[in-house]
Amino acid sequence: MWQELASAPVSFGAAGEVSVVASPKSKICPPGWAGIVLLGGAAIMTAPSEEAAAQIRQAVVELPADKLTDPEAVRKVLPIGEVLGPAALAYVVADGFQPAASAELRVEELPAGHADLGALERAAGAEDAGEAAIAEITSPAFVLRVDGQVVAAAGYREWPSSTAHVSVLTSPAWRGKGLARATGSAAVRHALAQDLLPQWRARVPASRKAAIALGFSELGYQLSIRLV
């Protein structure tokens, strides 16, 4: 899936190997940026131009692959402006899934794009809503309400190679109460029923903790950098 999103011929090698390719149309990072994905100890990197790819290849020989998603380590070998990430990449298969169980939380299903999801995004703020990307899900939305208001939601967007990219968003006033785990569990169950591989990408510790509680295993990291 990540190789396809790179939008150029590139593949993960053996553990410790790094593959760098020029790909102006890469989807693993914002346009004009360089993207890094580390999985199973091997990394692929996309650069916005051939010149940038050559610069990256020369620089990363000084770094072990497992340091390529550490912004401070990368800053020592490359001139970096902005940074997005790193985000942990976690996956779960049916046999490892540990669904959340709570008689007190009743998860409701809504169609993607439902107006009540917009209210939740406004409550969460632009930065958190953009990170969660609930507006981009292609699955139903699985939500929890308090006094009629949606305070947490999860769903997924179908990505290449039968991957379900999970999105989870909780209103700030209701975080730390297990709502992400409850709604995320419903989204993951739905994805597995469609024979999709759930992927949970998370930066903040609380989100990573929720994924691990559901049986996800962290297999790598993603980082995007803007060269200057």
CATH at residue 124: 3.40.630.30
Residues 57, 103 share a domain: no
Looking at residue 116, its amino acid is: D
pLDDT averaged per 10 residues in sequence order, the chain, 228 residues: 96 93 96 96 96 94 90 93 94 96 82 92 89 93 93 96 96 91 96 98 92 96 96
- What is the model's pLDDT at position 129? 87
- What is the model's pLDDT at position 54? 95
Cis peptide preceding 64, ω within 30 of 0: no
Residues 203, 131 share a domain: yes
**Torsion over CA: 163, 204, 113, 92 (sign):** positive
* 85 domain residue, yes or no: no
Residues 19, 110 share a domain: no
- What count of other Cβ atoms lies within 10 Å of the Cβ of residue 123? 18
CA distance 129 to 120: 8
- What is the model's pLDDT at position 103? 61
Q: Looking up tokens 């903040």, which residue turns up?
A: 204
Closest alpha carbon to 214 in 48, 97, 106: 97
Residues 149, 49 share a domain: no
- What is the model's pLDDT at position 58? 92
* 224 domain residue, yes or no: no
The number of distinct structural domains making up the chain is 2
